Chains A and B, each alone.
Chain A
Amino acid sequence: MYEMNQNLRLARAYVPFQVFSQRWEPLEGLMKGTIFPELYFPYKRREY
Chain B
Amino acid sequence: MIAVASRLYGLVGLIALMAMPAFAVQPDEVLDDPALEARARVISKELRCPVCQNESIDESHAEVARDLRLLVRERVSAGDSNDEALSFIVARYGEFVLLNPPAKGSTLILWLAGPAMLLIGGIGAAAYLRGRAAPVPADELSADETKRLTELLNK
A and B held together in a complex: no
The chain B residues found within 8 Å of chain A, CB to CB, are: none
